[in-house]
Amino acid sequence: MKRESWQGNFSSWFNKALREADVMDTRYPVKGLYVWRPYGLRLRNHILEIIRELLEKSGHEEVLFPLLIPRDIFEKEAEHIRGFENEVYWVTHGGSTKLDIPLALRPTSETSIYPMLKLWIRSHADLPVKIYQVVNIFRYETKMTKPLIRLREVTTFKEAHTAHASREEADKQVQEGVRIYKQFFDRLGIPYVITRRPPWDTFAGAEYSVAFDTLAPDGRTLQIATVHNLGQNFSKVYGVTYEDLEGKHQHVYQTCYGISDRVIAAVIMVHGDDRGLCLPPVIAPIQVVVVPIPYKGQEKEVQKEAEEVSNELKGGMIRAHLDDRDLRPGDKYYRWERRGVPVRVEIGPNDIKRGQVTLVRRDTGERMEAPRQNLVAEVKKLLDGIMRNLTRRAKEFFEERIHEVGDTESATRVLKEKGGIVRIAWCGKESCGLKLEEETGADVLGLEFEGKEVAGKCPICGKKTKTCVLMAKTY
């Protein structure tokens, strides 16, 4: 399938892909709010299953906190509230009654969760605490909104929060958070860079932030996950302490890390093509669609065979769907291609006669014949192959768009001509970093999290440096 034209006008491709695949309806009458349709919601839920599995396996427990946070509690951590004050929705009335204290719709949940952690944690034996929740959060975005990417209601906010006895353990927890997200994105075939965000782009209230970025087809980066080390900033404000082995009360060290609907946007944009969605089998709501190709006089035989094939696939734990509606096969092909179903099985009289089925791959469009015997194993192998191909293809696209540059002029030119990410030396001074952004019109993503040292010169001040920074135009 061609994967060129969708790079030309990514925004219109994205909206059309969402609409034609019945992922979301963007016509809800409030800016920045969208409606999940059944197919999209199933896709979302399969993605959530994976992150839940990874979190549970590593000892995180799911909780659920209230949406509303009283203003006085919300505003305790000064830096945190400064970071969010322009974005918070306020509930001021219940019925016609004015509330004594306005209630914030959570923009994130540190300030609702940590006062309760104060009650839950008594001694070192209660640590570490590792919890997470999947909730809706709200941000009063004034910029242009975009489905799944820039929302006023983020409907799929998975946030994890942890508490530890020492700074070292919190640092180690950041590593675990990064590891979990790596596994998560690897399972989805989404390529990424990991950077330690510069101080001026650190989460409000955190000591440092690590972030994952992937690439939209138009060459801009999309932040898809963040991991924050909060140090004792919040625990001091909310009084979250534990009694250590000597009986002394210490403030806990905290981390938090989150992903959002943007992961779903990434799956769609990273793997999609000119024909719409192209879903990784692991999360496709329908992995295989079975389409009977009836010929006059043989309708019953073909229908029966298609039913048997569909049931056999389901029995083999494959998410199969039989499309036996009274429509032309071509119309069905079109519909399921737009929805990104990885494999189509066609069954006609000839296939039956020859004891075979016809398989069509969504990713390459390739048609092939497969023996009717052993079909489940054959289809599973094909699904694995599609997953590998999607992953490889996305990785290639991504790596081709990471460019080494030596000065801001070539950074600007490369970002303009080719898009993507540039790697450029940086001395580490904030003033030089801000100047880099100013001169290129791009954002500093940060220092590579597991980057190698290099020998270079800061293009702003000319100082020798061993560190590089990644920069890009961002969403």
Residue 160 binding its own copies, by CB under 8 A: no
Please report, as residue ranges, which positions from 240 to 259 form the binding site for its own copies (by CB under 8 A). none
Residue 92 binding its own copies, by CB under 8 A: yes
Residue 33 binding its own copies, by CB under 8 A: yes
Alpha carbon distance 18, 154 (integer Å)? 17
Please report, as residue ranges, which positions from 116 to 155 form the binding site for its own copies (by CB under 8 A). 116, 119-120, 131, 136, 138, 140, 152-153, 155
Alpha carbon distance 281, 175 (integer Å)? 28
Residue 331, exposed/middle/buried by CB under 10 A (0-12, 13-18, 19+)?
A: exposed
Options 49, 53, 87, 438; binder of its own copies; rule CB under 8 A = 87
Tokens of 42: 């199933």
Residue 57 binding its own copies, by CB under 8 A: no
Buried b or exposed e, range 107-121, using 16+ CB within 10 angstroms: bbbbbbbbbebeeeb
Among residues 84, 73, 69, 71, the alpha carbon closest in space to that of 206 is found at: 84
Residue 95 binding its own copies, by CB under 8 A: yes
Residue 83 binding its own copies, by CB under 8 A: no
- Can you tell me which residue has the tokens 């946030």? 159
Residue 162 binding its own copies, by CB under 8 A: no
Residue type, 265: A
Task: Name the minimum Å distance from CB 326 to its own copies.
Answer: 11
Options 62, 168, 274, 430; binder of its own copies; rule CB under 8 A = 62
Options 78, 91, 144, 317; binder of its own copies; rule CB under 8 A = 91
Residue 82 binding its own copies, by CB under 8 A: no
Residue 67 binding its own copies, by CB under 8 A: yes
Closer CB to its own copies, 27 or 296, in the complex = 27
Asked if 187 and 52 touch (Cβ cutoff 8 Å), the reply is: no
Closer CB to its own copies, 152 or 158, in the complex = 152
CB atoms within 10 A of CB 437: 16
Residue 16 binding its own copies, by CB under 8 A: no
CA 41 from chain centre, in angstroms, equals 15
Residue type, 153: E
Alpha carbon distance 353, 344 (integer Å)? 19
Asked if 378 and 385 touch (Cβ cutoff 8 Å), the reply is: no
- Respond yes or no on whether the N-terminal peptide bond of residue 128 is cis (omega within 30° of 0): yes
Considering only 30-38, 166-174, 235-243, 442-450, which stretch makes contact with its own copies by CB under 8 A? Answer: 30-38
Considering only 95-103, 288-296, 311-319, 400-408, which stretch makes contact with its own copies by CB under 8 A? Answer: 95-103
Considering only 110-118, 195-203, 303-311, 361-369, which stretch makes contact with its own copies by CB under 8 A? Answer: 110-118
Residue 330 binding its own copies, by CB under 8 A: no
Residue 422 binding its own copies, by CB under 8 A: no
Options 5, 11, 38, 384; binder of its own copies; rule CB under 8 A = 38
Task: Name the minimum Å distance from CB 66 to its own copies.
Answer: 4
Alpha carbon distance 260, 223 (integer Å)? 10
Residue 373 binding its own copies, by CB under 8 A: no
Residue 103 binding its own copies, by CB under 8 A: yes
Residue 464, exposed/middle/buried by CB under 10 A (0-12, 13-18, 19+)?
A: exposed
Residue 105 binding its own copies, by CB under 8 A: yes
Residue 36 binding its own copies, by CB under 8 A: yes
Residue 73 binding its own copies, by CB under 8 A: yes
Task: Name the minimum Å distance from CB 134 to its own copies.
Answer: 10
Closer CB to its own copies, 64 or 245, in the complex = 64
The phi and psi torsions of 54 (rounded to 5 degrees) equal -65, -40
Residues 6+ apart with CB under 8 A from 186: 391
Pairing of strands 421-425, 468-472: antiparallel
Query: Around 21, how many Cα atoms within 13 Å sit in the side-chain half-sphere?
Result: 32
CB atoms within 10 A of CB 462: 10
Residue 331 binding its own copies, by CB under 8 A: no
Closer CB to its own copies, 98 or 452, in the complex = 98
Residue 63 binding its own copies, by CB under 8 A: yes
Alpha carbon distance 372, 272 (integer Å)? 30
Residue 50 binding its own copies, by CB under 8 A: no
Using CB under 8 A, list all residues that contact its own copies: 25, 27-30, 33-38, 41-42, 45, 61-70, 73, 85-97, 102-103, 105, 112, 115-116, 119-120, 131, 136, 138, 140, 152-153, 155
